[in-house]
Structure 1
């Protein structure tokens, strides 16, 4: 069965926000640990090293990318267990992301926001975040890792359609 894309686009004064959400039957503190503790991020994104604090950068290994490269990610803001605001720069440009946790119906909702300057390339970016967030869900449930090939290019038309509206 192919995963169903869930992302939405919202126009902002500075561009477009790509927003994806996931629900967890766990307290925010436990979900926060999955987002911030290196041994737990290693299960779905990659391990990281360094002194984590607002205004500082850590090195993160992209464990599920070809060659498992390392990159610097700057912590713009951190308000445990509710908000993690990050930025990074690579060959594609600057990436600004927010991970927001809130209590919903006895569980925790993760609202993942990728701040984009435009909708250009959202057909490539959206499926990637769907994949990583489903890896997060699976890592918490003890499930086998999902396959990127199930997300891309299958979800690309969905995200390009969002960009066209």
Structure 2
């Protein structure tokens, strides 16, 4: 796909739930690929580099320490990471700095139901995170379809509708 023609797809199902003194953004969408293929996109460094908001120092498919480097233009910000659980191809859980990401993959007739639980410190971050994950997972969908558009990260996301997505997710999460 021509990157300049890329537009965000349909909204994901989202909720925001308390998790002790923190909050979980629960972000769910369906992908038309089997869990094994989605798992590879979530764990393999070469695939993550094509859609995720970060680069990884290693394959995330096994427990242990790693570094996730958030990318924004020419800048990189390293965050310590620990893969806590890696149950191929159904569950991946790791820290990202102070946050916790839990990816749940469920086989469906049409492919995979992907549910991300992103634990964060402040509930008002949820619409921003939802908008970012929306764009990232749209890009991942194109990658899985064999039609890569390249990663959309950091400030560049504003050129692809991030602010509109943030506002729409804020409405959905407040209702």
Per the normalisation by structure 2, the TM-score is 0.76
**Which residue among 26, 32, 41 is the counterpart of 2:39?**
32
Distance 1:71 1:11, change over 3 A: closer
Task: Let me know the Cα RMSD of the aligned residues.
Answer: 2.4
> Larger relative contact order (C-alpha < 8 A, sep ≥ 6)?
2
**Which residue among 130, 136, 140 is the counterpart of 1:132?**
136
Q: CA deviation at 1:75?
A: 0.7
Distance 1:61 1:6, change over 3 A: same
- More helix per residue: 2
Structure 1 segments unaligned to the other structure (5+ residues):
none
The whole-number CA distance in structure 2 between the counterparts of 1:44 and 1:38 is: 10
Structure 2 segments unaligned to the other structure (5+ residues):
1-6
Structural mapping, 1:6-155, within 5 Å: 6-14=12-20, 15-45=22-52, 46-50=54-58, 52=60, 53-54=62-63, 56-63=64-71, 65-69=72-76, 70-89=78-97, 94-141=98-145, 142-145=147-150, 148-149=157-158, 150-155=160-165
Aligned length: 159
Per the normalisation by structure 1, the TM-score is 0.80
2:164 is paired with a residue whose SS is coil
The whole-number CA distance in structure 1 between the counterparts of 2:34 and 2:127 is: 32
Q: CA deviation at 1:7?
A: 4.2
The whole-number CA distance in structure 2 between the counterparts of 1:159 and 1:113 is: 15
